[in-house]
Chain A
Amino acid sequence: MMTQSSSSQFWLTRPLGERTTQIFLGVLFAALLLVTVLHLAVPQGHPLYVNAYTVNLFGKYLSYALLAVAVDLVWGYLGILSLGHGAFFAIGGYAMGMYLMRQIGDRGTYGHPVLPDFMVFLNWDSLPWYWYGFDMAWFAFAMVLLAPGLLALVFGFLAFRSRVTGVYLSIITQALTFALMLAFFRNEMGFGGNNGLTDFRELLGYNLRSNDTRLGLFIATGVALALGYILCRAIVTSKLGRVCVATRDAEARTRFIGYRVERFQLFVFVVSAMLAGLAGALYVPQVGIINPSEFSPLFSIEIVLWVALGGRATLYGAVIGAILVNYAKTVFTGVMPDAWLFALGAMFVLVTVLLPKGVAGLLIRRKRQKHDERASTGEASA
């Protein structure tokens, strides 16, 4: 788990010296490069050609993968089963959506210079105060991280201070995302109600409907996933990460040896919420819409299933799980839309029975077998 030689380095770059991280980043960047080359260099009609739709789809998977990493950070290492991470994802997405709405300017259906279409439709005459500033990219991008972070800070402060943990915390996180969903459904909230925010045109001046922008977003999401992974890995391999694991397994004992457990929980929870917000912000321009359904409790539970399927407390397992399940979802909803939930349930049961540690558990087991074989043939010292 921890190699002694690398633990003296600067904490943020420490994961780069790890084998697992190197392999993960290698595979990720190879995949990004491969898709880019197959999209740009292979002529259309060739069997290996990757079309813009698929690039866009992969980009969506990658943003889900980043969300899954955020969930694994709190669930796998801190033992907090959040069933409301969809809320942070959606808030990040809304922050991005608000920026994209303001970018439309006077080119909307009603042609109002400032107000988005849905506000004109509702006969509003001015912009609500919380929409101010979202015409500036830097402000909107800051909000992508700060808004979910602030919600997590307030929510986590109250929950962890009162030592709410375990199943109670899971239920409260569900309630949080459900309450937000109901609130965002209301037109009076000023976030487009039922329809959410859509009809986006440009991001930082790039046309969102062009294939090149889609490829760019796909690559940006891949890079964000890599950076998010490194950050999480840096946290879990630090001494703070070991305090988290200690808290997960014996909270009272951790408190007894002098750690302010609730502060550590709050810190990691906020970092995780910010990563989820970033994932949401990368998701929205790729799918072209954000609406309150992202707050649905079901979606938040699905995220947890991705992590469980991929393998908890490994981080790369969360990435594998998110991509596998969502790929399966794409295939299934294309072939048999009604059967998808049954298929998801079946996958979950099968993995729980056959691979209790998820797909990542399979990889770890194979690695250990190899290690044992080497040890038995006397090469272990190498």
Chain B
Amino acid sequence: MSFLQSLKTRDRVFGFMAPEASPVDVRHGPILYLEDVTVSFDGFKAINNLNLTIDDGELRCIIGPNGAGKTTMMDIITGKTRPNEGSVWFGSRHNLLQMNEPEIASLGIGRKFQKPTVFEALSVFENLELAMAADKRIFPTLTARMTGEIKDRIDEVLETIGLTALRYQPAGILSHGQKQWLEIGMLLMQRPRLLLVDEPVAGMTEQEMERTAELLTGLAGKQSVVVVEHDMGFVRSIARTVTVLHQGSVLAEGSMDQVSSDPNVVEVYLGADDEEAA
């Protein structure tokens, strides 16, 4: 085929037009390093000398009592809060402390907030379409066409989040749990390398929790997933490695059985629950 003909083929993307492959360097294993991170608000140390490493493709659960610094940790990773000390690296190439929120998001760190927000008037399919990584300027958006490739990608995510049957329904009619899954799906459309999920099962029914557990464990491997959760039963059902935070630093780390038998953990976390119950 001549060069001119090759320019006319429309089934491929030119090299210079193709989005850059994710440049995250994970050759050394971990996708996320937090080292000696400290954050203080007016003298109060919300995060105190925190060290945390997440491996590529890992599913990690983070638990801890209220005020342990779970949300602040998420804020640091996504660039919302700047630590006073320490370093945060994404892969071994990107220093997250030198980047702003949109840059970090486009690098492939997706965050799901506690309260689900979906576009209620749009269908499930359209919600995913809008969330997809694409040229989001005005004219490319106006003239965007639905290609088979995009459709396949959306179908794939619909399958993953289990909403294929509801694809043409407006997102407003979805149940609370389904909205949470749709929002996870919207994050997946951006092909993240690392997903931060904040309390995914709050307010869910038993069956919905089971489905969410399946969904999150299914995601791990393809991308790294960090789940912050209060519900111990849920954590037990998905966790391979659990990190317990307490007063802004890591108290214990290991399998669920290891940490739940750790005397320190029992004292500050599980023990505290007992006291509250008593």
Contact = CB atoms under 8 A, between A and B. Distances in A.
Interface in A239-279: 239-240, 242-243, 245-246, 248-250, 252-254, 257-260, 263-264, 267
B119 A249 contact: yes
A239 B122 contact: no
B126 interface: yes
B120 interface: yes
A380 interface: no
A74 to B, nearest CB: 15
B136 A7 contact: no
A263 B139 CA distance: 11
Contacts of A254: 119, 130
Contacts of B126: 2, 242
Interface of B: 102, 105-106, 117-123, 126, 129-131, 136-138, 141-147, 151, 186, 190
Given A2-B126, A260-B136, A240 B121 contact: no
Contacts of A4: 146, 151
Given A246-B130, A257-B130, A239 B123 contact: no
Contacts, number: 74
B142 A7 contact: no
A11 interface: yes
A17 to B, nearest CB: 13
Contacts of B141: 238-240, 243, 259, 264
Contacts of B131: 257
A264 B143 contact: no
A264 B119 contact: no
A126 interface: no
A263 B143 contact: no
Nearest to B105: A258
B121 A245 contact: yes
A1 interface: yes
Interface in A3-48: 4, 7-9, 11
Contacts of A249: 119-122
A263 B122 contact: no
A258 B136 contact: yes
Contact of A263 (B121, B138, B151, B186): B138
A2 B123 contact: yes
A260 B144 CA distance: 16
A238 B142 CA distance: 6
A242 B146 contact: no
Contacts of B129: 239, 242
A238 B144 contact: yes
User: Mostly helix, strand, loop or mixed at chain A's interface?
Assistant: helix
A32 to B, nearest CB: 29
Interface in A267-307: 267
Contacts of A239: 129-130, 141-142, 144
B59 to A, nearest CB: 24
Given A8-B145, A257-B131, A250 B138 contact: no
Given A257-B186, A260-B136, A242 B143 contact: no
24 contacts: A4-B151, A7-B145, A8-B145, A9-B145, A11-B142, A11-B145, A238-B141, A238-B142, A240-B138, A240-B141, A242-B122, A243-B130, A246-B119, A246-B122, A249-B120, A250-B118, A252-B117, A253-B117, A253-B118, A258-B102, A259-B130, A263-B137, A263-B138, A264-B141
Contacts of B117: 250, 252-253
A9 B144 CA distance: 9
Given A2-B126, A253-B117, A8 B142 contact: no
Given A239-B144, A246-B119, A258-B102, 12 more contacts: A1-B123, A2-B126, A11-B144, A238-B141, A238-B144, A240-B141, A245-B121, A250-B118, A252-B117, A257-B190, A259-B141, A260-B136
Contacts of A7: 145-146
A13 B130 CA distance: 22
A8 B149 CA distance: 12
B164 to A, nearest CB: 14
A245 B172 CA distance: 13
A267 B141 CA distance: 12
